[in-house]
Structure 1
Amino acid sequence: MNKPQILVVEDDAAIGNLIATTLETQSYQFHRVATGAGALLDALSYRPDVVLLDLGLPDMDGVDIIRKIRAWSNMPIIVVSARSEDTDKVAALDAGADDYLTKPFSVEELLARLRVALRRVRYDNEKVDAAASLYANGDIRIDYAAGCVYRNGTEIHLTPSEYKLLCLLAKNTGKVLTHNYILNELTGSASPADTPSLRVFMATLRKKIELDPSHPKYIQTHIGVGYRMIRQNQPDEV
C-alpha cells in the first residue's frame, strides 16, 4: 500500500522542521514549500493526500490558497496557524479548509488530526460507490435513496430539517462545518439571527442519534465555529 503523501506549507523554519521530523517518524512521505505560489504549484503537480497549511505566508494569504485549491480539488486541507481568533478559523473553514490547528500545537494532536483526514481519504476512495446511496458510521445508517435513517438497525424518525442537517454532516464526515456554511446549505442564508435555530435543530437531532446527547460521540461541537461529524470505527476496521 502506498504511503500517504503530505504537502507541508510553512515558512517558519523551526516549525517546518518540527512537522517534517514528526512526519518522518511516522514514515509519511512529504514535500515542503514556504510560499503560497509553491503551495499551489505542488498541489497541482504533486497531488498530495493532505495539505498542512500555514496561513501567514510571505507572498499570499492562506485563505486565498484554500479557495484556489477548492476551485479544482477536494483534497483535505488542515490549517496550522498562529491565528487563534474564531473569526480567523471561520474564514479558513468557510473557504474550504477541513480542520484548524492552532500554534503552538502538540505532536500528538497534529498526528491525530492527520489520521482523521487520511481516514476520510481512505473512506472516500474505497467506498465511493456505496456512499452514493448508503452511509454507515458506527450504529448510524442513512439510506439516501429511501430517505431513511437507522440506529442499531431500527428506523428513527427525523423532521425534514433534522434529516437534511444529518445528511450534510454525514457527507462531510471528519470536516468542520461552520455555522455559516450549514445555515447556507439548510436555508439559503447565513444570518447570525438563525444560529439559535441551528442549535435547536442540533439538540433535537442529537437526542435521536446519540445514546447520551450530553456526551455526543457522533457530532462534535467546535464552540464559536461550527460542528463536525466524527467517524466511528466500523466492525471491519482495525
Structure 2
Amino acid sequence: MKLRERQRQLQQDIVAGRKSDWPGLAVYQNAYRLRLAEALAVDYPLLRCWLGEAAFTRLARDYLAACPSRHFSIRWIGHRLPEFLARRGEAALAEFAAFEWALGLAFDCSDAKPLTADDLIAVPPQDWPGLRFRFHPSVQLLWQCHAILPLWRALQAGAPPPPCPPLEAPVPVLIWRRELRQFFRSLTPEEAGALERLQQGEDFAACCEWLARQPAVDDAAQRIVSWLQCWLGEGLIVGFCV
C-alpha cells in the first residue's frame, strides 16, 4: 500500500471510529471525538447547561455517531443537531438548539451598513409600490412552539431553568445582529409574515395587499409603516431597489 493510500485509510478509520490494527489508532480516534464534542459544547453552551454535563456528553456521542462531520471546517459540526433532536422526538430541545445555532450564525455572518429613515424618505412616492428591500445578512426568523425565550434568558443569567411547556400557538422570533451584538424578539404573526415576504423579495405593494387581508390588521398602511420605522431603528434594512 502506498503512503498516500495508507494516510487516506488512516484518516477514514479515525473519522468512522472503525477498529483497526494500526498501532495507537484508538488514541487518535478518542482525541478526534473529544475535539468534536468540545466544538459542540462551544456552539451550544446553554443547551449543555440545561441538559447537564453527563446528558450533553451522551447527546454529543449519539449525534456524532449518527451525523459524522462532512465539512472541512469544524465550525459546521453542529448544524444538524436541531434536526437530529427533532427526529428523536425531542421537540423542545430541538427548538432550543435551533435558537442557539441561529444566534451563532447571526454573530458569524458578514456585516452590512443599515439604512436610515432619510434614505427611505428620499424615495419618490411613485416608486414605493415596486420597492423591494434587502435585509441584513444576520436576519433570521424562527417559529417556536415551546417557551424557549424565558428558558434561554434564565440560563443566560445563571438562574435555575424554568419549565419549557408547549405554547398555545407558535410564536415567531426574529434574530439579528447589530455591530457585535446579537438581538432577538418575538413578533406577531402579521409582522413575521410581512417581514418574511419582504425578505423573500416581494415588493411593497404586494406585501401591503397581503397585510390588508389579515383579520387582525385594521389599517395595513399604518401598520407596515410603523414596522418599517422599527426595522430601520433595529438596523434590519440595508438596501432597496425598485
What TM-score comes out, normalization by structure 1 length?
0.30
Higher helix share: 2
Q: Which entry has the higher C-alpha Rg, 1 or 2?
A: 2
Higher strand share: 1
What TM-score comes out, normalization by structure 2 length?
0.30
